[in-house]
Amino acid sequence: MTTFKEKFKKKIELLSWTSDEKQQNANSCYEIMIHKLCNEKCLFCSQDHERRSSAIRPSDADIFHRILLWKKQWYWMLWFTWGEPLIHPNILKYVKFASKIWFNLIRVQTNGVMLWYPWFAKKCIDAGVTYFKISVHHYKSEIHDYLVWLPWALNNVLKWIEEIQKYWWRIWINIVLTKQNYKDLVDFFNFFFNKWITDYVMIFPLYEWSMYEQADIVGLKYSDAIPEIIKVLKIFDKAWLKRPLVLNIPLCMMPWYETAIIQTFNWTAVLNLDWTKSNIDENKDVWKKRIKHCSTCKYNKICFGIDKTYCKLFWLDEFECLPTQTELNYIYNKFNDFTLKKSFFTEDEKCILELFKKKNPLTVNDIITLKDDIQICKDCDSLNKIISTMEILVKKWLVNKQLVNWKIIFIKN
């Protein structure tokens, strides 16, 4: 007899064929704030000092009720974020509950300090964490530890990465750009490439709270960061890897590279500690400002704008003479001295390559059927994602695509 869970799972598989429509659903992703405590004191932190040190948090009953309510409203991604979620004593209970009611993706955003305990990392995985988004701000411990104001922080994070990769679990890395690290971005990515991590977000800082107070020490301008960001994009393009995302850079500052900049949060809603609900896309202008240049800019309707406090701290001469596509392409094409010594694969590609070990050739239907056996990427529900990943593997000469009986099949070379 077919159980309810099996019926529900089959329904989700049917919905997976329209997963890109699901991405645009008004109820797609929910970020839950369970507290604002943190075990680091980052110099670039843009969070409220008072709340960051406050022990006030919602009750377990309230959090369980909200998670269940969001699932009934067809939210399919749940993110534990803000502060440091992993120091909450009941975080594993919340994750396990969300996993049992079939949230497709459960993400924990963390600084990684707690996860260097092998037993704790394993418990997080067993509870149902789909992937970890970890904040790392340099590959040298003396700089990273200085920026987060915690000794041995990077060493603990690197221990955890080695431990978590034993379980083939997905890792994203967030790096906040500061005066101390932006010139070392190329070496940073090369360092973590060799640890087989290929998913990244580069975050230009918001000049609030600590970042505002320490702006003379860690602050930088858009024009400082953009040439180094473009060098990084060159590395990813040469390796046939998905470009890292860029946050908080105005679109006009990077013409021709706009697709790398986060322009929408796909209906990501946030539940605050006081139970008020806010939508990031609807509130994206709260801390942003439109200057005279914006009124005639072609990106005006989709760009987040410029950080209000940034406008107070720096002269806006950058916007008087914006970089052209030609100038940015010159930076892109000039950077040819970096060569990758081996091939690297995204988590999506690793997942497909592992599935080839189970069956060769593969069809899209085979991937959807076998994905639960080994789902490294945690994203095989997207039909377009499967096709685009296969196309990259074809370009890398690892997979051959053929049409047999009006059906596309993929053969591992």
In order of their start, the domains of the chain are: 22-334 (3.20.20.70), 347-412 (1.10.10.10)
Residue 190 makes CB contacts below 8 A (sequence gap 6+) with 235, 338
3-class DSSP state for residue 247? strand
Q: Whole-angstrom distance between the N-terminal and C-terminal Cα of the chain?
A: 41
The answer to whether 303 touches 252, Cβ cutoff 8 Å, is yes
Q: How many CA atoms lie within 13 A of 152 on its CB side?
A: 6
Low-confidence spans in the chain with pLDDT less than 70: 1-27, 48-56, 264-269, 271-285, 336-341, 372-382
The answer to whether 58 touches 80, Cβ cutoff 8 Å, is no
- CA 45 centroid distance within chain: 18
Q: What is the pLDDT of residue 103?
A: 84
Q: Rounded to an integer, what distance in angstroms lies between the CA atom of residue 375 and that of residue 373?
A: 7
3-class DSSP state for residue 209? coil
Q: Which two tokens stand for residue 96?
A: 């396990």
Long-range CB contacts for residues 268-271, cutoff 8 Å, separation at least 24:
268/28, 268/29, 268/30, 268/31, 268/79, 269/27, 269/29, 269/30, 269/31, 269/75, 270/30, 270/31, 270/33, 271/30, 271/31, 271/32, 271/33, 271/66
Rg, C-alpha atoms of the chain: 22
Q: How many CA atoms lie within 13 A of 342 on its CB side?
A: 8
Q: What is the pLDDT of residue 341?
A: 66
- CA 209 centroid distance within chain: 23
Q: Write down the pTM of the prediction.
A: 0.86
Q: Rounded to an integer, what distance in angstroms lies between the CA atom of residue 407 and that of residue 65?
A: 46
What's the one-letter identity of residue 345?
F
Tokens 């109820």 appear where? 27
